[in-house]
């Protein structure tokens, strides 16, 4: 009967040896290592080899001559039949086969090309994708962005007080943002006047959607990368997340609240910008729905991580190290992997449910559900009110829509007198106004 195990990312079976199978050996080496069993059919049936010693020698010689790597080739008896086992360790450099680079994806061998290949070769040298150089020069960098960065760093004590905020070349030199006289992609992403002209993912877009998932309005945040966080927060709370007020049950005082905590949104936006895969060239997105908000950017979790790792206490793993260093010195990033803990704490303090994290079509997405209301308009509390104040509150309780003019007429006093008393009643926490002047109502907080 056929064996029940299957070919997978780290194992492949071949009935006989053929030099075309070097693709799989190279793919194993370029990915996570693996094993090839020669003498086993694709359906798992062990057929063995007629001359296993000769096959083992051919395999060893071919791998050495074509790939120039060391592997383990041995003869092993499986179900009383001699097979050749080729064990390939994961390499510390990329190896090509006739100029082509292969990696293992599932149980297939895929050719690595374009940006994926460039990223892999950079990683081999200990470099990130953003460490490669570009055609931008110092004149393309924004003096305002450099000054902003240095000022933020001084505020957090991470940049010396004597650093000149106009020293563009000094920043480039201090943060190793050039190579052979050319600026790196990090320099352009963080400080260029128009980084999107170089990389079409170097911006952020805010979108507001209705309950039917129809886009109602959007805003593009196209500024130097170091300024995107503050600019996005400003736009969100000025245009998309207005303050609301609720009444605290114990004291009856009005409290201004927001549907989403600023500290949590700020942290998630920073993470999205710093850890995104800029080689994919898709913008960071903030999507606002009636009952939740989503923040997403392209790029999967670090190798060996899953969503559970993200939610538990973990160390810091940075995709874009040079960009992360810049955001760290500006005070946006810590190096201890505590960002998610801060988000959870901020949500709890604002009475939002815990954030949720997911992987959606190659993007890491964070979702914060809308704030739960835990404050209610309290029942009126008996206090001592006399004279005109008492009469005004009684009228308002009987008719919450009553106007100042109507109050003045009913109580036989000047409208200016009514306005003065109302101002005092509001300041002392007896009443509040909900809604506009024309359509609003009076709320009795204390009677």
Looking at the 3D structure of the chain, how many domains does it have? 4
Q: Which of 39-43, 203-207, 360-364 shows the highest mean pLDDT?
A: 203-207
Residue 355 has pLDDT above 60, yes or no: yes
Maximum Cα interatomic distance, the chain, rounded to a whole number of Å: 116
Q: Which residue has the higher pLDDT, 265 or 317?
A: 265
pLDDT tier, 120 (very low <50, low <70, confident <90, very high otherwise): low
**Residue 427: both structure tokens together:** 């300041």
Residue 378 has pLDDT above 60, yes or no: no
The answer to which of 86-100, 154-168, 291-305 has the lowest mean pLDDT is 291-305
The answer to which of 36-50, 145-159, 422-436 has the lowest mean pLDDT is 422-436
- Per the domain annotation, does 430 fall within a domain? yes
Q: Which of 130-134, 146-150, 275-279 shows the highest mean pLDDT?
A: 146-150
Helix, strand or coil, per DSSP, at residue 55: helix
- Note the pLDDT of residue 363: 87
Give pLDDT tens digits for 11-56: 999 999 999 999 999 999 988 899 999 999 988 999 999 999 999 9
Contact 73, 84 (CB under 8 A): yes
> Token match 């007429």: residue?
409
Give pLDDT tens digits for 284-297: 999 999 999 999 99
- Per the domain annotation, does 150 fall within a domain? yes
Give pLDDT tens digits for 385-428: 778 988 898 898 889 899 999 999 999 999 999 999 998 888 87
**Residue 431: both structure tokens together:** 């009443």
- Per the domain annotation, does 147 fall within a domain? yes
Give pLDDT tens digits for 239-251: 999 888 776 655 5
DSSP, residue by residue, 198-219: T-TTSSEEEEEE-TTS-EEEEE
Mean pLDDT over all residues of the chain? 86
Give me the mean pLDDT over the 304-325 stretch: 69
Residue 124 has pLDDT above 70, yes or no: no
- Per the domain annotation, does 378 fall within a domain? no
**Rounded Cα–Cα distance for residues 69 and 86 (Å):** 12
Both 280 and 210 in one domain: the answer is yes
Both 150 and 90 in one domain: the answer is no
Both 26 and 72 in one domain: the answer is yes
Q: Residues 6 or more apart from 358 whose CB is under 8 A from it? A: 307, 364, 365, 367
- Note the pLDDT of residue 338: 67
* End position of a domain, from candidates 110, 144, 168: 110
Helix, strand or coil, per DSSP, at residue 125: coil
- Per the domain annotation, does 287 fall within a domain? yes
Both 251 and 181 in one domain: the answer is no
**Given CA atoms 79, 80, 86, 88 in this order, what sign does their dihedral have?**
positive
pTM for this model (two decimals): 0.63
pLDDT tier, 160 (very low <50, low <70, confident <90, very high otherwise): very high
- What domain range includes position 25? 11-110
- Per the domain annotation, does 4 fall within a domain? no
Q: Which residue has the higher pLDDT, 96 or 202?
A: 202
Residue 379 has pLDDT above 50, yes or no: no
Give pLDDT tens digits for 49-104: 999 999 999 999 999 999 999 999 999 999 999 999 999 999 888 888 988 889 88
Both 59 and 173 in one domain: the answer is no
Q: Are strands 441-444 and 431-434 parallel, antiparallel or unpaired?
A: antiparallel
Both 286 and 434 in one domain: the answer is no
Both 339 and 405 in one domain: the answer is no
- Note the pLDDT of residue 22: 95
Residue 430 has pLDDT above 50, yes or no: yes
DSSP for residue 257: E
- Per the domain annotation, does 434 fall within a domain? yes
Residue 307 has pLDDT above 80, yes or no: no
Q: Percent of the chain, pLDDT > 70?
A: 85
Both 55 and 29 in one domain: the answer is yes
- Note the pLDDT of residue 257: 87
Contact 132, 68 (CB under 8 A): no
Give me the mean pLDDT over the 226-243 stretch: 95
Residue 384 has pLDDT above 80, yes or no: no
Q: Percent of the chain, pLDDT > 90?
A: 60
- Per the domain annotation, does 376 fall within a domain? no
E-strand ranges in 177-274 read: 178-179, 182-183, 204-209, 215-221, 244-247, 254-257
Contact 231, 270 (CB under 8 A): no
């Amino acid at each position: 009967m056929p064996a029940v195990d299957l070919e997978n990312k780290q194992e492949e079976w071949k009935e006989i040896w053929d030099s075309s199978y070097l693709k799989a050996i190279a793919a194993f080496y370029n990915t996570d290592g693996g094993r090839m069993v020669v003498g086993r059919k694709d359906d798992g049936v062990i057929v063995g080899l007629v001359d296993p010693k000769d096959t083992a020698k051919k395999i060893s010689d071919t791998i050495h001559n074509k790939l120039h790597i060391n592997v383990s080739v041995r003869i092993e008896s499986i179900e009383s039949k001699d097979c050749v086992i080729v064990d390939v360790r994961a390499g510390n450099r990329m190896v090509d086969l006739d100029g082509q680079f292969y990696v293992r994806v599932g149980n297939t061998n895929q050719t690595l090309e374009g940006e994926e290949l460039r990223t892999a070769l950079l990683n081999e040298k200990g470099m990130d994708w953003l460490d490669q150089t570009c055609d931008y020069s110092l004149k393309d960098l924004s003096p305002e962005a450099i000054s902003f960065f240095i000022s933020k760093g001084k505020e957090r004590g991470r940049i010396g007080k004597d650093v000149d905020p106009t020293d563009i070349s000094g920043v480039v030199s201090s943060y190793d943002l050039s190579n052979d006289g050319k600026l790196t992609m990090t320099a352009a992403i963080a400080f260029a006047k128009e980084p999107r002209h170089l990389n079409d993912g170097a911006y952020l877009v805010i979108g507001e959607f209705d309950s039917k998932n129809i886009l109602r309005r959007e805003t593009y945040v196209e500024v130097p990368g170091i300024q995107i966080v503050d600019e996005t927060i400003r736009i969100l709370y000025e245009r998309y997340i207005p303050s609301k007020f609720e009444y605290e049950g114990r004291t009856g005082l009005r409290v201004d609240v927001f549907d989403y905590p600023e500290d949590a949104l700020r942290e998630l936006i920073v993470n999205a910008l710093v850890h995104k895969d800029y080689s994919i060239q898709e913008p960071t997105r903030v999507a606002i729905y009636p009952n939740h908000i989503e923040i997403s950017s392209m790029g999967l979790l670090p190798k060996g991580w899953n969503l559970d790792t993200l939610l538990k206490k973990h160390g810091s793993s940075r995709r874009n190290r040079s960009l992360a260093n810049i955001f760290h010195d500006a005070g946006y990033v810590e190096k201890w992997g505590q960002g998610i803990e801060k988000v959870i704490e901020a949500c709890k303090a604002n009475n939002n449910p815990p954030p949720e994290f997911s992987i959606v079509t190659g993007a890491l997405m964070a979702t914060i559900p809308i704030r739960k209301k835990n404050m209610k308009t309290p029942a009126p509390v008996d206090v001592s009110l006399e004279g005109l104040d008492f009469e005004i509150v009684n009228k308002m309780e009987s008719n919450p829509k009553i106007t100042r003019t109507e109050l003045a007429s009913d109580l036989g006093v000047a409208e200016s007198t009514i306005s003065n008393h109302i101002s005092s009643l509001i300041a002392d926490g007896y009443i509040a106004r909900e809604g506009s002047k024309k359509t609003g109502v009076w709320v009795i907080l204390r009677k």
